[in-house]
Structure 1
């Protein structure tokens, strides 16, 4: 592994996605730049190994398991979208790019769980997974927007390295303190929905209504670990 001798994170920017003028929480005005790129560190590399490793095995198994299905191509379209979205999620270099992967995973899981949509139970399971995942999506979006309002950036390097540290002695008197609590709550909602934690867990048992490879993909340390990640 490349990080064995050099654990330093590596970031590659593909292009500037958007530039947004905005007024921050403290009244300052600035331009927020959002880049589309990849951020690789030991954690994301480990997750990529899990995603691609499990994904490869499930693809291999599915070629025979699903070979008699009329919608063979549709199944693999959703399956490939799922793996691509999970990979984008763990390689994202900022929260906006992460949000794209996050939403893509939810959409692909909806298509996979409801693959046999002619079965009422499968259609109901897909709808339940979609609704609960959208609750998590909304939580993540609100958290990101509040981060951007407070910090003026969605980059991990800004948000995760002391941007929300409360100055010594101020504690709860700091006007940013309630916003940091709100961010934590909305991030927890997102994580709970995606990783199927109480009380947003009811979609996971119903995911068994999808084809067997789908159940393996969702339960076997891929989708449910996105919330933990």
Structure 2
């Protein structure tokens, strides 16, 4: 993850990107004798490779177009008027295509609509692993990549429309799906997908600072939710079905879970209120309605 975050060129970012994917596979597969953990790890790897089939051509396209992998040079040359070509009597904008390919990579890594199925299944790993993957490392890599390449994403409006639509759709559908879950950790996993949809949506409306701000806040309260859930599961003899947890739940786990849930509901000390409110205020009227509904549904999963 430090390689991905600190890299100043596309090659270093890609190496960190693949390293994060490999580490997540090994962590999900930690209990390798369990069939469900084996299936979850085996599922996470190919689903993320689908996203990589978009990221790798996107990086190659940037190198072909700009003749460099250095971010600062690419951003400086992105405004050149020569960034299009004609094929089959159709004109294609190179930067639009490159940005959409990069976004496909982010969709796979950040569990957005269409490639989100690996995320709930990744709950087969140990709870601290779930807290790491779904709070601060793997799933946030896609959001960080879009924010890191934000000067490039500002040129093609079509790509921003795609990003905004995908983020809003994921946020709403993941929150509503989480309501139907009975497994405690899967509920939190779907809420992670929903919050990542918020971050992607903020990138789509060109508010990258708000997206990164919410990303950092999310790491705090989501890690708290996962670890408190692990405390409850351990005290209940590894029982994860919430329907069987009506009695004798440890107060410590419940109190921590309440703090994390209230934080997601913007009743917090981690400033999530500011991040979410900024995203909603900057949205159009139709998307505002979707996000406000989702903002109520997502915490109600708990």
CA-atom RMSD, angstroms? 2.1
Please say if 1:225 is aligned against 2:140: yes
Q: Distance in 2 between matches of 1:190 and 1:200?
A: 10
Decide whether the 8 Å contact of 1:95 with 1:156 is kept in 2.
yes
Q: 1:105: which partner in 2?
A: 20
Q: 1:184: which partner in 2?
A: 99
Decide whether the 8 Å contact of 1:102 with 1:137 is kept in 2.
no
Q: Which of residues 125, 129, 146 in structure 2 aligns to 1:210?
A: 125
Deviation at 1:158, TM superposition (A): 1.1
Q: Describe how 1:136-151 pairs up with structure 2 within 5 A.
A: 136-151=51-66
Q: Which of residues 107, 112, 128 in structure 2 aligns to 1:197?
A: 112
Q: Which of residues 34, 57, 78 in structure 2 aligns to 1:164?
A: 78
Q: Distance in 2 between matches of 1:119 and 1:171?
A: 51
Deviation at 1:171, TM superposition (A): 9.2
Deviation at 1:223, TM superposition (A): 1.5
Deviation at 1:93, TM superposition (A): 1.4
Deviation at 1:216, TM superposition (A): 0.4
Please say if 1:119 is aligned against 2:34: yes
Deviation at 1:117, TM superposition (A): 1.6
> Which consecutive segments of 4 or more residues in structure 1 shift more than 3 A?
170-177
Q: Deviations over 1:53-103 (max 9, x none)?
A: xxxxxxxxxxxxxxxxxxxxxxxxxxxxxxxxx110000110001100000
Q: Deviations over 1:179-203 (max 9, x none)?
A: 2122111111001111111011111
Deviation at 1:160, TM superposition (A): 2.0
Q: Distance in 2 between matches of 1:166 and 1:154?
A: 17
Deviation at 1:222, TM superposition (A): 2.1
Moved more, 195-204 or 179-188: 179-188
Shift in alpha-carbon separation, 1:187–1:91, aligned structure 2, 3 A: same
For structure 2, the residue ranges without an aligned partner over 5 or more in a row are 145-302
Decide whether the 8 Å contact of 2:85 with 2:94 is kept in 1.
no
**Greater relative CO (CA pairs within 8 A, separation 6+):** 1
Q: Secondary structure at the match of 1:121?
A: helix
Deviation at 1:141, TM superposition (A): 1.1
Q: 2:4: which partner in 1?
A: 89
Deviation at 1:173, TM superposition (A): 7.7
Deviation at 1:166, TM superposition (A): 4.8
Please say if 1:153 is aligned against 2:68: yes
Which is strand-richer, 1 or 2?
1
Q: Distance in 2 between matches of 1:174 and 1:124?
A: 44
Aligned length: 141
Which is helix-richer, 1 or 2?
2
Query: With structure 2 as the length reference, what TM-score do the two structures score?
Result: 0.44
Q: Distance in 1 between matches of 2:75 and 2:142?
A: 17
